[in-house]
Structure 1
Amino acid sequence: MCTVIVRTGRPLTLMGIRDEFADRPWEGPGEHWPDHPGVVGGRDLKAGGTWLAIDQAAGRAAALLNGRGTPAPDAVRVSRGDLALRAVSSGKLPDADLTRYDPFHLVLADPAGARLLSWDGHRPEVTELPDGTSMIVNTGLDHGHERVTAHLPRFAGDADWHEPLRDPPSDAGEALIVRHELPDGRVFATLSVTLVTLAPDGATYEFTDMTS
C-alpha cells in the first residue's frame, strides 16, 4: 500500500510514500523521459513510468497510487506509470482512454491546491482536496482507513514531516513505513519517500531511498 499526504497552504506540501516488492527494479530521480522535458522522478524499470513526478519550473507535482476495482481488459491494458508524467507535463488530469488502466488514484498539485482523480475501472471521480491536510491510500480519500486514522494527525499544523519517517518498518495494518516478508520469500516494503513543496516563488524536491 502506498500513501500520499497533501497539506494545502503556502507552500503546498506533498509527500509520496512508495510501497512495492523489493525485487522490482527501479532507479532514483532524474529527467528520465525525453518526451517530458524538465520532469523529474524515480523510474520504474519494469514498466518505464513513475509513481511521483515534479516539474519544478512549472511548479507542479503528480503522485500515483494503485486503486481498487475492476482491472482493465488484458487486450488493452497499459501501465499506469505514465499517468503522473502526463498530468505533471500538461497540468491537467487525464480524462480519455481510462479504460486502458487498472484502478488508480492520481493527485495533481500546484501552489493553488490539489485535485484527486480516482478511477475504479468503471467511472472517474475528481475531488478537490480540502484545505488542511489530507491522506490518500489505495482505497482513496478514506478517512476511516486504519493508516489514516493512526497517522493523519501527525502531519497536521506545524508538524515535522520527517519525524514519521523514523518509524521502524512494520507489517502492522496501520504502519506508515512497512515491511512484509511473504511466505514465498519475497519482501514488500517501503522503498522510497519523496517530499515536495510548491510555492509561487519556487518548488523543492527531496527524495529518500528507504532501502539504503
Structure 2
Amino acid sequence: MCVTAIAYFVHPKYPFVLLFNRDEVFERPVSEIAEWTDEWEGIVAGRDLMAGGTWLGMNHDGKFVAVTNFRDSNTQTEQQKVPSIAVELDNRGAFLSRGLIPLQILRKNVNIVGELENLWEERSRYRSFNLLAGDVKGSGLYYFSVNQTENAFNGLKQLEQGLHCMSNTDISNNWKRTTTLKDELDCFLKNHEEFSPLDLLPLLTPELASNEPTQRAVSVFYKSNPINIGEKTISFGTVSSTIITVSISNEVNILERTWSRDQLSYADTSKSFYIST
C-alpha cells in the first residue's frame, strides 16, 4: 500500500511536484532520506534497512523513481494486503527486492528507457509492482507495471505532461485514494503561485485518514492498525509522507515526515540541492 501523485509540467514556477505516502509495517527498519555514497553516490533517498533498497528516490541529474506494490484491491482481505515481515524474510531467495529497482535507474549515466527495457526482461524476478520514473527536466515520464498474480505485464508506457496519481492498482483505475489526492493537488496548484513542500503536506496528513475498516485502505492517509498474522501482531499504516518540489531554476526541495507508530508525533527531514545541468 502506498500512493503518489505527480504534477509534471503543470505549474509555471514548479514544473515538478511529487507527493508520496508510504504505507508499510512500522516494524520494518528504515533510515530517513539522505545522500547515498559509494556506488550509489548522487542518489537522494530513504533506505530500507531490511532489503537495502528504496521506495522513492532522486538523483542530482534530475531523474526520479517511485515504486509501489501492486495489489488486487477488489478481492484481497485487509490481512492479505499487509505484507508480513516473516514471509518476506523467508522468501528472500525467491524474488529480488523491488526496492533495488530505483537504484538501478538512478545510477549515474543510466538511460531511463534502456533501464526500463532491461527491467521488462527481468520482470519475473520481482513481486508485482507499479513504477513511475522520469526526468524532472522534461525529457520523459514513464509508467511500468507488473502484476504477477494475474500474469499481466503492461510494459512501458510514456505519460503526457499533466497530473498523474498511482497507488496499488493500474494507474488508469479510478481508485478513491488516487482520485482524491489528484483532485486535491490539482486544486492546490491552481490556487497557489508560490509554495513550499511544507505547504503541500496537509494533502497527505492524518486528517485524511478514516476510522472505518472498509475505508481505511482507500484513504490517502492509512490510519495505523494492529493486525494479527499468525502469532505475530504488527502495526500497518502510513509510516512516512514525502514532498518533492523542483523549481524552474532547478532547485530541489524535499521534505520527509516520518510518523510514529500511533501517528500522533513525527520527525521531519529536509534536503535541498540544485540539479546539475
TM-score with structure 2 length normalisation?
0.67
Kindly, what percent of the aligned residue pairs are identical?
Answer: 25
Q: Is the 8 A contact 2:227 2:235 kept in 1?
A: no
Matched residues in 1 for 2:156 and 2:248: separation? 24
Where has structure 1 moved over 3 Å in runs of 4 or more?
198-201
1:141 aligns with 2:159: no
**Tell me, which stretches of 5 or more residues in structure 2 are unaligned?**
73-90, 192-198, 261-265, 267-277
Whether the 8 Å CA contact 1:11–1:199 is kept in 2: the answer is: yes
SS in 1 for 2:220: coil
Q: CA deviation at 1:180?
A: 3.9
* 1:41 and 2:41 correspond: no
Pairing of 1:6-21 with structure 2 (within 5 A): 6-9=6-9, 10-21=14-25
Which sits farther off after the overlay, 193-202 or 39-48? 193-202
Moved more, 92-101 or 102-111: 92-101
More helix by share: 2
Deviates more, 1:112-121 or 1:142-151: 142-151
Written as runs of structure 1 = structure 2, the 5 A alignment for 1:59-208 is 59-68=62-71, 76-89=94-107, 90-92=110-112, 93=116, 94-110=119-135, 111-112=137-138, 113-121=140-148, 122=151, 123-156=153-186, 157-158=189-190, 161-168=200-207, 169-171=209-211, 172-184=216-228, 185-198=233-246, 201-202=249-250, 203-208=252-257
C-alpha contact (below 8 Å) 1:15/1:195 kept by paired residues: yes
Partners of 1:76 and 1:188 in 2: how far apart? 24
The structure number with the bigger radius of gyration is 2
Query: How far apart in 1 are the matches of 2:181 and 2:58?
Result: 25
Q: Unaligned 5+ residue runs, structure 1?
A: none
Cα RMSD (Å) of the superposition?
A: 2.2
Kindly tell me: are residues 100 and 33 of structure 1, through their superposed partners in 2, closer, same or farther at Cα, counting changes over 3 Å? farther
Q: How many residues align?
A: 207
When residues 109 and 31 of structure 1 are mapped into structure 2, their CA distance, relative to the original with a 3 A threshold, is same
Structure 2 distance, partners of 1:49, 1:183, is 25
Please state how far the C-alpha of 1:204 moved relative to its aligned partner.
2.8
- With normalisation by structure 1, the TM-score equals 0.86
